[in-house]
Amino acid sequence: MKLRRPLYIGAAAVGALFLIVSLTLFFIPDRELQALATRALQREGYTLRAARFGKAFPLGVRAAGLELADERGPLLKADKATVSLALLPLLTGKITVTGAAAIGAGHVTGEYSLRDGAARIEMGGIRLEDLPFIETATGARAKGVAALQGSLKGKGKGVGGELKLEIRGANVAGVKIGEIPLPDADYTRVQGVVRAGGGMVTLGSFTLEGEGLYVRLKGDLPLATPPGDAPLNLTLELMPKPEFQERQKFVFILLTKYLTTPGHYQIPIRGTLAKPVVQ
């Protein structure tokens, strides 16, 4: 009997908290929720637009026609998106935020725990042309279908975990690092593993297999706040076949100083994540 009483008290407290939060959310007008989200993102340098914005049962918000942008332009567009508190973790005193979005024909799902920073993300069927941040941030044009999955845990420089990326049928054009152009190419497969641990982010294996061109990116960068300030220590390797190199002769002439052996270029990438430069 003595053991049951604390359980009853705990259950009652969680139930009361759930009821208070639910009622509070219920009585806030949808336009006020959107204004609150907009102001929160503006403090971080982002703008939020949505065709529709409102509450999602039982403890969440949802939007349709969502667009997130910064001063450079649009970064993310979603047909539908939902963010909510997970109920089962809440019953044990853990606050876990879950999210889901429909982007074109693809989807993104994820969750994040405020207690220990544990995060999980899964993305599938996403067309690169439906991700505006690629062109906004890099000026490049990209096509292909991407899938991503992984998990992270911890906060700040204590984050650890792994993300795996795969892209099928990729086409990448107009890529520049600083003022140095890279060759346009079709890639049958792009795959990579990014690992975090010990205050560093490491590219364990990141390769692009193309018709006439093989590309490998390797290196690391420290975890930093904000992430865009992280200094880069990366090397981009290009291994073109002679016929591919001949078709894009002008680009490879500009890359001549990075030729290490015939058909093998090694390009050091420095600067920061926000402003990479070729050394």
pLDDT value of position 146: 95
176, 264: one domain: yes
Has residue 198 been placed in a domain? yes
Mean pLDDT of 118-141: 91
Which among 77, 103, 129 is the end of a domain? 103
Which among 71, 103, 135 is the end of a domain? 103
φ, ψ for residue 30, nearest 5 deg: -55, -40
98, 117: one domain: no
Which among 52, 83, 103 is the end of a domain? 103
pLDDT value of position 236: 94
69, 150: one domain: no
Which pTM value belongs to this model?
0.80
Of 189 and 89, the structure prediction assigns the larger pLDDT to: 189
Query: Do the bridges between strand 233-240 and strand 213-222 make them parallel or antiparallel, or are there none, so unpaired?
Result: antiparallel
- Give the rounded percent of residues in the chain with a pLDDT score beyond 90: 53
98, 178: one domain: no
**E-strand spans in 174-248?**
176-177, 180-181, 185-197, 200-210, 213-222, 233-240
pLDDT value of position 211: 83
Has residue 25 been placed in a domain? yes
Boundaries of domain holding 27? 1-103
Q: Which two tokens stand for residue 55?
A: 């509450």
13, 82: one domain: yes
66, 134: one domain: no
Q: How far apart are CA 134 and CA 19, in angstroms?
A: 42
How many domains are contained in the chain? 2
97, 128: one domain: no
Amino acid in position 251: V
Compute how many other C-beta atoms are within 10 angstroms of the C-beta atom of residue 167.
22
Q: How confident is the model at residue 35 (pLDDT cuts 50, 70, 90)?
A: confident
pLDDT value of position 8: 46
pLDDT value of position 4: 52
59-79 CB burial, b ≥16 within 10 A, e <16: bbbbbeebbbbeeeebbbbbe
Phi-psi region of 253 (alpha: psi -120 to 50; beta: other; left: phi over 0): alpha
Has residue 122 been placed in a domain? yes
DSSP label at residue 272? B
Has residue 93 been placed in a domain? yes
Look at 6-15, 83-92, 106-115 and tell me which has the smallest mean pLDDT.
6-15
Has residue 196 been placed in a domain? yes
Has residue 108 been placed in a domain? no
- Reply yes or no on whether the pLDDT at 11 is more than 60: no
Q: How far apart are CA 137 and CA 109, in angstroms?
A: 23
- Reply yes or no on whether the pLDDT at 21 is more than 70: no
**Best-predicted range by mean pLDDT (30-34, 184-188, 274-278):** 184-188
Phi-psi region of 231 (alpha: psi -120 to 50; beta: other; left: phi over 0): beta
90 neighbors 96 (Cβ within 8 angstroms): yes
92, 153: one domain: no
Q: How far apart are CA 51 and CA 31, in angstroms?
A: 12
Has residue 117 been placed in a domain? yes
Has residue 272 been placed in a domain? yes
